[in-house]
């Protein structure tokens, strides 16, 4: 009798919805997509080309098709397309774009397929296999969080950390490597969590790092943590400010924020009793560090 192994989430193809627009409308559509579907949006462009492509990823083809019908009606959308991306295609993408990098004074982020580049004197190495998830430290939003984690672990590492929207698990893994004792990573995407668990095992921190599926808009974390990182969209950070602020015992790192949204997000957390102690941006994205 033949038996068939059940496919894991990481083996499941992803459905990609691509929207074509002009540069003038790209940021507005990017924000709308992320807010409407509560998923990361990838923005692509070519030198000398006025067109911009926005990509958003789905597990369910029916949901992707419905999203396409809604997106077609948005002002500025010139064309849409749905395609299937398999894990091997995603790996090829990452191998082309993801390179080793040093962050802060003590961290080195390295893709797992470049073992010779992993070690750097005086630095803690985090090996990452992104799989189908997001979070390599190359985008400003993740890099800001990693820099803040480095900063907060410099003298006396926090005992506990909560990583909301954990993606590849990179922030929680980095904190544990830098001395944090235990961490929890949450995400509303089971595919991302499966890859995050693999990365935790790869870095030998799986015994101190727990992951769980959780939608921050529907379910509040029950515990308090010394350090909380939330790298999600700016509008969600504002909406969920009372819930997220309650989880932070001492420090809170917020990212995934458009620079134009920074003041609004900051105000929402000041109203919860937080004190802003750091802010940074790259001209498009920004991040905030709060103390409670």
Q: Could you tell me the CA-to-CA distances from 22 to 35, 56, 139, 258 in Å, in that order?
A: 20, 17, 22, 19
**287 found inside a domain:** yes
Question: In the predicted model, what is the mean pLDDT of residues 118-144?
Answer: 82
Cβ-based neighbours of 207, under 8 Å, separated by 6 or more: none
pLDDT the model gives residue 92: 67
**53 found inside a domain:** yes
Domain termination site, one of 29, 52, 85 = 85
**126 found inside a domain:** no
Instruction: For 224-263, write each residue's pLDDT tens digit.
Output: 999 999 998 898 999 999 999 999 999 999 999 988 999 9
Domain termination site, one of 85, 103, 122 = 85
Whether 90 contacts 13, CB under 8 Å = no
**94 found inside a domain:** no
Residues 143 and 65 in one domain: no
Residues 37 and 154 in one domain: no
Boundaries of domain holding 258: 133-291
Instruction: For 20-66, write each residue's pLDDT tens digit.
Output: 999 888 888 988 888 888 777 888 877 778 889 998 888 788 888 88
Residues 74 and 159 in one domain: no
- CA 209/CA 161 separation, integer angstroms: 9
Q: Which of 51-55, 131-135, 184-188, 252-256 has the lowest average pLDDT? A: 131-135
**CA atoms in the 13 A half-sphere facing the CB of 83:** 9
Question: In the predicted model, what is the mean pLDDT of residues 259-283?
Answer: 95
DSSP 5: P
Model confidence pTM above 0.85: no
Whether 225 contacts 152, CB under 8 Å = no
Residues 152 and 216 in one domain: yes
Question: In the predicted model, what is the mean pLDDT of residues 170-188?
Answer: 96
More confident residue, 37 or 265: 265
Neighbours of 163 (CB within 10 A): 31
**pLDDT band for position 8 (50/70/90)?**
very low
Residues 233 and 138 in one domain: yes
**3 found inside a domain:** no
Identify the CA nearest to 250 among candidates 133, 170, 162, 136. 162
**164 found inside a domain:** yes
Which stretches of the chain are DSSP H helices? Answer: 23-37, 61-72, 87-97, 140-152, 170-177, 190-202, 234-239, 241-247, 262-270
CATH number at residue 48: 3.30.70.260
**122 found inside a domain:** no
- DSSP per-residue letters across 277-292: EEEEE-SSEEEEEEE-
- CA 224/CA 173 separation, integer angstroms: 19
User: Please, what's the b/e burial string for 228-259 (b: 16 or more CB within 10 A of its CB; e: otherwise)?
Assistant: bbbbbbbbbbbebbeebbbbbbbbbbbbbbbb
Whether 98 contacts 138, CB under 8 Å = yes
Write the Ramachandran bin of 218: left for phi over 0, alpha for psi from -120 to 50, otherwise beta. Answer: alpha
CATH number at residue 251: 3.40.50.150
Residues 78 and 169 in one domain: no
Residues 81 and 137 in one domain: no
Average predicted confidence (pLDDT) for the chain: 87
Total tally of structural domains belonging to the chain: 2
Residues 149 and 222 in one domain: yes
- CA 111/CA 92 separation, integer angstroms: 12
């Amino acid at each position: 009798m033949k038996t068939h192994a059940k496919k894991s989430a990481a083996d499941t193809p992803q459905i990609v919805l691509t929207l074509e627009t002009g540069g003038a409308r790209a940021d507005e559509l990017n924000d709308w997509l992320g807010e409407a579907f509560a998923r990361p949006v990838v923005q692509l462009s070519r030198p000398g080309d006025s067109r911009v492509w926005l990509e958003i990823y789905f597990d369910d083809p029916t949901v992707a098709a419905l999203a396409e019908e809604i997106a077609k009606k948005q002002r500025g959308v010139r064309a849409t397309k749905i395609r299937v991306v398999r894990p091997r295609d995603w790996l090829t993408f990452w191998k082309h774009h993801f390179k080793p990098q040093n962050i802060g004074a003590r961290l080195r982020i390295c893709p797992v397929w470049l073992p010779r580049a992993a070690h750097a004197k005086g630095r803690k190495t985090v090996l990452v296999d992104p799989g189908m998830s997001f979070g390599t430290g190359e985008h400003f939003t993740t890099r800001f969080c990693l820099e803040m984690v480095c900063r907060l672990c410099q003298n006396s590492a926090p005992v506990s950390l909560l990583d909301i929207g954990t993606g590849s698990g990179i922030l929680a893994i980095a904190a544990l490597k830098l001395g944090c004792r235990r961490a929890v990573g949450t995400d509303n995407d089971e595919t991302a969590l499966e890859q995050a668990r693999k990365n935790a095992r790869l870095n030998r921190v799986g015994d101190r790092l727990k992951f769980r599926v959780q939608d921050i808009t529907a379910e509040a974390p029950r515990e308090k943590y010394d350090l909380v990182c939330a790298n999600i969209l700016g509008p969600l950070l504002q909406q969920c400010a009372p819930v997220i602020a309650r989880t932070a015992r001492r420090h809170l790192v917020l990212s995934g924020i458009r620079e134009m949204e920074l003041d609004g997000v900051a105000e929402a957390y000041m109203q919860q009793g937080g004190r802003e102690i750091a802010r940074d941006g790259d001209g498009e994205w920004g991040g905030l560090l709060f103390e409670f």
